[in-house]
Amino acid sequence: MQRYNNKIALITGAGSGIGRATAVRLASEGARLMLVDRNAEGLQQTLAELPEGAEALTKEVDVSLEAEVEQCVADALAHFGRIDVLCNNAGIAGGDYSTAPDQSLETWQKIIAVNLYGVMLFTKYVSRHMLEQGQGAIVNTASVAGIRSGAGGNAYSASKAGVINFTMTGACDLGGSNIRVNAVCPGLVETGMTKPVFDYARANDKEAKLGARCELRRYGRPDEIASVIAFLASDDASYMTGQALAVDGGNTASLNLPGMKV
C-alpha cells in the first residue's frame, strides 16, 4: 500500500523503538519525513533503516522546550511546505516506581514535561498549520499505563493518562476543521525505554514471563505498534477521532490481577 504518497509526516521520538518503526513504516508507504529526537546518533540509525530513496530530514529537539518545538515545526514547513501527519511519540519512563508517600516533585516535573507538555507543544504548532490547510491527522503515543495502574510508575502513568485526555479534548477542538486526533496505547514492547526491564528479565532467567500476563502471552514489537499508528494516521481511519486504542496483546481486556494468569 502507498497510503502516504505526497504526504509529509513529522515524528517525534524517531531515534529508536516505536518512533523508528513508525518512520520505517510510513516511509515504506510513500511518506516524506521530518524525524525528531534528542539523540542524534539514534536519528542517523533510523535514517539508515529507511527504505531506499526515502526522503527525510532530522532535527535534534527537546520536546519540552517551546522555542525548540516552534523552530522545528517552522523548519519542517520551510522545507516541505506542509505537514499532513504528526506522530507525538517522544517519551521517557523516568525509572521511578516510588509509591505515593515518596514521590519526587522533580521526577514528576521531568516526566510530565516530556510526555505531556511535548505532546501539547507539537500539537499547538502543527495544528495551527493544519487549520490553515483544512486537514490533518495527529496520533499520540500514550500507554496502557494511562488506562489502568500496574504498567508504570505514578508520574509516568499520570502523564500518559493526560495524553489520552488531551487526545480527546484536542479531537473536539480540531474536528470541525477536518483534523483528526487519536492515540495508541502500547502494552509491553521492547524498546530503548523498556530496555532495563528486558535486561533484568534476561539476566535473571525470567524472559519467559515478559508479557505472560496479557491474553496473547507475549510482549509486543515496535513494528506492531507502528502498523496501528499508520492506520490511525491514514485515510483508512477517516471517521475516527478522539479514540485511544490499546495495542497490548489483550492486557487491558481483563482484571489482570496478580496470580490470575499462568
Maximum pairwise Cα distance, the chain: 55
How long is the chain?
Answer: 262
Q: Tell me if residue 200 is catalytic.
A: no
Smallest CA-to-CA distance from 82 within 135, 26, 118 is with 135
Per-residue DSSP letter, 114: I
Do residues 51 and 105 make contact, with C-beta atoms less than 8 angstroms apart? no
The label of the residue with cell 525548540 reads 68
From the number of C-beta atoms within 10 Å of its C-beta (0-12, 13-18, 19+), residue 166 rates as buried
Instruction: Determine contact, residues 66/121, Cβ cutoff 8 Å.
Output: yes
Instruction: Point out the catalytic residue in the list 4, 117, 125, 156.
Output: 156
Contact by Cβ (8 Å): 3, 234: yes
Residue 193's CB is within 10 A of a number of other CB atoms, namely 18
CA separation for the pair 45, 220 (Å, rounded) = 21
How many CB atoms lie under 10 A from the CB of residue 158?
18
Backbone torsions φ then ψ of 57, nearest 5 degrees = -105, 155
Q: Which residues contact 44 (CB under 8 A, 6 or more apart)?
A: 58
Q: What is the Cα–Cα distance from 36 to 14, expressed in whole angstroms?
A: 6
What are the catalytic residues? 156
